[in-house]
Amino acid sequence: MTEASAEPVADVGVIGGSGLYELLPDVVEHVVDTPYGPPSDPVMVGAVPGGRRVAFVPRHGRDHRFPPHRIPYRANLWALRSLGVRQVLAPCAVGSLRPEFGAGTFVLPDQLVDRTSGRVQTYYDQGAVHVSFADPYCPVGRERVAGVAAAAGTDVVDGGTMVVVEGPRFSTRAESRWFAAQGWSVVNMTGHPEAVLARELGLCYTPIALVTDLDAGIEVGAGVNQDEVFAVFAANTERMRTLLLSAAAALPAEPSCGCAESYQEAGVTLP
């Protein structure tokens, strides 16, 4: 275990979701001190095939001790950026709002709807800092993930809206039916404020959503439960890990999108 270095040690970050608590077998742990407290766990840095350095942090902690509303989102993103990360892949478990997206489906959302409440969603508590968030996710990252998935014969749904709810409870049937009626694709509990914090830090952010269940409003029976979600994610962990490793290697050496421009235009300065 080492303290975080001032020199960049990785340029790609992965924030692991429910069920994904490890990514690489041979890693060095970095303890990172941030102005927002410690991240969910020490950041693990290792190399993917081809030699690219990747920094990994499990969103909920390795023992899943942080529920969605208590995750140290600001510390996690800050820690990754302090290690040199400029592009982030964010796997997550989601419920499907469309019957054709069954359990095990990969979805690459291109839009976000925030239905959380009370979460701190900015690094700036004073002064007017308004970053552009019309397109919340990195188009280049999504293109690269879709490309490596296609090359591997892995089907993904490219595009769709992810609605993020406060949790930790699951949706009622009425809520789920309302979300589906809006034309939204999947529902999740952790995608916000993670995405907007990444934007404030000038990071490219690409979610990779794994459908673990049909949300309550589009199925009959008891509705979604935690054991079901964890079981489906566990059954697809290797598929997700394979996709992440290939995607991390395929991201551009220098980001060619505009994800960092909005925070520069807003006059944001970072230490």
Beta strands in 131-178 (DSSP E): 156-158, 161-165
d(CA 51, CA 68): 33
Instruction: Please enumerate in sequence order all residues whose Cβ is within 8 A of that of 229, keeping only pairs 6 or more positions apart, or say none.
Output: 18, 93, 212, 213
For 15, 120, 177, 225, the CA distances from 212, given in Å and listed in that order, are: 18, 27, 18, 10
41 is in an annotated binding site: no
Query: Is there a binding annotation on residue 245?
Result: no
Catalytic residue among 11, 41, 114, 215: 215
Half-sphere exposure of 226 (CA within 13 A, CB side): 7
Minimal CA–CA distance to 30: which of 54, 1, 51, 66? 1
Active site residue 26: no
The H-or-E segment that residue 53 falls in is strand 53-58
**Annotated binding-site residue? 189:** yes
215 assigned binding-site residue: yes
Is 59 marked as a binding-site residue? yes
Question: Under DSSP, is residue 182 helix (H, G, I), strand (E, B) or coil?
Answer: coil
Residue 63 designated active-site? no
Asked whether residue 251 is marked as a ligand-binding residue, the answer is no
Residues contributing to the annotated binding site: 18, 59-60, 189-190, 213-215
Residues contributing to the annotated binding site for substrate: 189, 213-215
Enumerate the active-site residues.
213, 215
Residues contributing to the annotated binding site for phosphate: 18, 59-60, 190
